[in-house]
Structure 1
Amino acid sequence: MPSQNGPARPLVPLVVRFGRLGDMVLQEPLLHLLHRRWGKPCIVLSRGGWSSELYRGHPDVAETWQLLARNRPLAFSPERWRMIAKLRAHDGPVYVAEDTRGSLKRIRWLLRFARVPRERCVFIRDMGLRTDEHWVDQALRFGRTTPAAYREADYPWRDEDMRTAPRLYLDADDRADADAWLRARGFAEAPLVLLQPGNWHVHRWWERRDSDPKFWPVENWAALLRAMHETLPAANLVLCGAPVESAVCEAIANAAGVAQVKIATRDLPVRRLLGVLERAHGMVSVDTGPAHLAAAMGCPLVVLYGGKYGPDKWGRRSPFGKPIVNLGAPPQPVSAIVPDQAIAAWRSLAV
């Protein structure tokens, strides 16, 4: 262990990650650890317009810096020049948690143009990544590294600073908004079960259903919904997702033929979804970002895995000890999971 003398001077750590929703949720324990080590909440630099909503009100995040335009040449990107100016003004440690080559190349380019000294930076790719290590454990190991410009003994880490399950935070306005939505949709008086059938590239599901390892067939979702209705007849069964996932949700609802099945793909932005998940009876989801939100909010959860990685790498963890059931055996596709398995897993949560 490093010395416990405490930080010589509190500094603001900058964490850079160009990941999708689930990636950004899983890095929350890293933000918590770095806040404790360096004495001030983190700045998060990400790509996309939603990370500010994800981390709004988070005690370990001071600011979110977001790049919205993709792949625009520097000469035509005022946004990138503004980001370079921010990076140049920042004087704390820089933790680059991105591990994909294309995004890492862009990040190195930004740091170089901003003239950020290399000795103030550490890169997760330099740490020795292991395919059998959960991403949160990897991130915590990364958070214990120290850029060469600083003395580790001046910025110690402690065992109690390392929490292994991501946690997200709501305020009174978030909860009031979720309550208002539940009332407006007629969901306030009965148990609420959420289902997340889509992932980020399912918008043309009828073309990809045989090639997408994370696509669970429409008829399987329909069978699960009918079993849910049989188990909890009064429950509202809500198919959720992004607007581009509306078509697959509509196909599932039509196949199920259950009046209690509703669709919410256009009125559940991130903050409202967090508030609804905090209230929900449970969720069944493929391996995608909203399942990470559910676990972080303490919603009982069944996750259907398929494709390259399973729960050993990307498994959800509940900070409140709520049940999480993992199904599937990657690299087999998620379609290898039969409806009876998912039904039994969900019923284990429903009792």
Structure 2
Amino acid sequence: MPIPFQPLVIRFGRLGDTLLLQPLLRRLHARYGAPCTLLAAGGYALDLYRGQPDVADVIALRSHHRPLSLSLEQWRAIAALRRMRHVPVYVCEPQPRSLERIRLLLKLAGIPDRHCVYLNDIPLAPGGHWIEHLLQLADSTPPAFADRFAKAASTTSPVPAFVVSAAERADCDRWLAARGLAGHPLVLLQPANKRTMRWHGVRKASDDDKSWPLENWAGVVAAIRIQLPQARVLLCGSPAEYGYLETIRAAMAQPDVEVVARELPLPRMRALLAMAHSMISVDTGPAHLAAAMGCPLVVMFGSVSPSHWRPRSQVPDAVQVLGGPPASTRVDAITPEQVIDAWHALPLRAAENRVL
């Protein structure tokens, strides 16, 4: 058995991109005998992987595109990378601009290229899922470590999974009680995506392939209330999306619909998804988190192919996918009736099947 190494994994993506690394991190943990270090962009990487068994440490860069001369944060990251010059490095970044910055950081840290493998060197199979692409990378070995680890193969699950700590569950329970939501079935709606908000306000619907009309959301909520009159409907999103979500809530003119976008730090969101009745979402990061937490999910795709990005769940039939090529290239081509039918088809979430 080779001696344990703590692999370094690098990805400068958004929430969904960072979340989809989890099966790769699990595979590398199994192959090398030690949890990974993750170098990522954004503070959500810290919240997402804190306390998770396959990650020992997270180095989070909030300004990875800033010039090095102006970024003390990046120089601190370089100093941390210098202490990892002996470990295998897995670069999962597909974007050329970010990849150029990563190569510079690795060079300044003195990490030889023989210690690294790059996702861009592995072709994505036609119709292949992004997680399989990442697992192909995880099964490859940097040249410098081939003599010790090339045969250290491992079979692990291709489905993301996250642990909810007792503290996170207790925090969520207190929040639900304070909000008067405890004891009610909770149906979560995720109308916004990373393209929705711009510095000057909400992006025009015609310029956003994942924008679904307000009247469609209202129709879905009305159907949910007929099916589950005791349910509470929660509009989820980032704090920056609060005003947009309030517009949707006001347009619905429905009772028991609340905007909680300012009250859902990622650990609480994870705990909430581990016990919620269901979620209806456009294709975005929280949809992947919902599937990973076993939450029954209806997800609507725009121009991005579901074959590459379909959220994965350990619960059979817990994800219903609508839209996406070749069926359509815009979410607004999906009707409320299709969404309601898909929601009705979701498996009932029994208490014993919740992810805790």
Same fold, TM-score > 0.5, yes or no = yes
**Match of residue 133, structure 1, among 125, 128, 133:** 128
1:121 is displaced (CA, Å) by 0.4
- Residue 90 of structure 2 corresponds to residue 95 of structure 1: yes
Q: Which amino acid aligns with 1:67?
A: L
Residue of structure 2 in register with 1:314 after alignment: 309
Paired residue secondary structure (2:135): helix
Unaligned residue ranges in structure 2 (runs of 5+): 349-356
- Note if contact 2:37-2:57 (Cα within 8 Å) is conserved in structure 1: yes
Q: How far apart, in 2, do the equivalents of 1:27 and 1:136 lie?
A: 8
Q: How far apart, in 1, do the equivalents of 2:149 and 2:213 lie?
A: 54
1:15 is displaced (CA, Å) by 0.2
Paired residue secondary structure (1:151): helix
**Match of residue 118, structure 2, among 123, 132, 156:** 123
Paired residue secondary structure (2:337): helix
- Note if contact 2:21-2:131 (Cα within 8 Å) is conserved in structure 1: yes
- Cα distance, 1:111–1:254 mapped onto 2, change above 3 Å: same
Q: How far apart, in 2, do the equivalents of 1:211 and 1:224 lie?
A: 23
Q: How far apart, in 1, do the equivalents of 2:185 and 2:131 lie?
A: 32
- Residue 283 of structure 2 corresponds to residue 298 of structure 1: no
Q: CA RMSD in A?
A: 1.5
Q: How far apart, in 2, do the equivalents of 1:339 and 1:47 lie?
A: 36
1:152 is displaced (CA, Å) by 5.4
Q: Which moved more, 1:333-342 or 1:62-71?
A: 62-71
Q: Which amino acid aligns with 2:292?
A: A
Paired residue secondary structure (1:107): helix
**Match of residue 275, structure 2, among 252, 264, 279:** 279
Residue of structure 2 in register with 1:229 after alignment: 225
- Cα distance, 1:194–1:157 mapped onto 2, change above 3 Å: farther
Q: Which amino acid aligns with 2:31?
A: R
Q: How far apart, in 2, do the equivalents of 1:173 and 1:44 lie?
A: 23
- Note if contact 2:141-2:149 (Cα within 8 Å) is conserved in structure 1: no
Matches within 5 A, 1:110-189: 110-151=105-146, 154=149, 156-159=151-154, 161-189=155-183
Residues 96-133 of structure 1 show CA distances to partners (whole Å, capped at 9, x for unaligned) of 00111111011011111111111000001011233521
1:157 is displaced (CA, Å) by 4.1
1:209 is displaced (CA, Å) by 0.9
- Note if contact 1:37-1:155 (Cα within 8 Å) is conserved in structure 2: no
- Residue 240 of structure 2 corresponds to residue 244 of structure 1: yes
1:143 is displaced (CA, Å) by 0.5
Q: How far apart, in 1, do the equivalents of 2:91 and 2:82 lie?
A: 16
- Note if contact 1:203-1:247 (Cα within 8 Å) is conserved in structure 2: no
**Match of residue 336, structure 2, among 318, 326, 339:** 339
Residues 248-304 of structure 1 show CA distances to partners (whole Å, capped at 9, x for unaligned) of 211221221111111111000100000011110000000000001101111000000
Q: Which moved more, 1:147-156 or 1:130-139?
A: 147-156
Unaligned residue ranges in structure 1 (runs of 5+): 1-5
Residues 130-189 of structure 1 show CA distances to partners (whole Å, capped at 9, x for unaligned) of 352101111111111010001256354445x32110001111000000111111111112
Q: How far apart, in 2, do the equivalents of 1:187 and 1:224 lie?
A: 20
Residue of structure 1 in register with 2:75 after alignment: 81
Q: How far apart, in 1, do the equivalents of 2:337 and 2:107 lie?
A: 54
- Note if contact 2:317-2:346 (Cα within 8 Å) is conserved in structure 1: no
Q: How far apart, in 1, do the equivalents of 2:222 and 2:181 lie?
A: 18
Q: Which moved more, 1:239-248 or 1:59-68?
A: 239-248
Q: How far apart, in 2, do the equivalents of 1:244 and 1:208 lie?
A: 16
- Residue 57 of structure 2 corresponds to residue 55 of structure 1: no
Q: How far apart, in 2, do the equivalents of 1:50 and 1:207 lie?
A: 23
- Note if contact 2:164-2:271 (Cα within 8 Å) is conserved in structure 1: yes
- Residue 266 of structure 2 corresponds to residue 260 of structure 1: no
1:211 is displaced (CA, Å) by 1.4
- Cα distance, 1:64–1:322 mapped onto 2, change above 3 Å: farther
Residue of structure 1 in register with 2:284 after alignment: 288
Q: State the identity as a percent.
A: 45
Residues 197-220 of structure 1 show CA distances to partners (whole Å, capped at 9, x for unaligned) of 001121257542111001111111
TM-score normalised to structure 2 length: 0.93
- Cα distance, 1:350–1:39 mapped onto 2, change above 3 Å: closer
1:319 is displaced (CA, Å) by 2.3
1:349 is displaced (CA, Å) by 2.1
Matches within 5 A, 1:320-331: 320-321=315-316, 323-330=318-325
Residues 36-59 of structure 1 show CA distances to partners (whole Å, capped at 9, x for unaligned) of 111110000001111111001111
Q: Which moved more, 1:185-194 or 1:245-254?
A: 245-254
Q: How far apart, in 1, do the equivalents of 2:51 and 2:25 lie?
A: 13
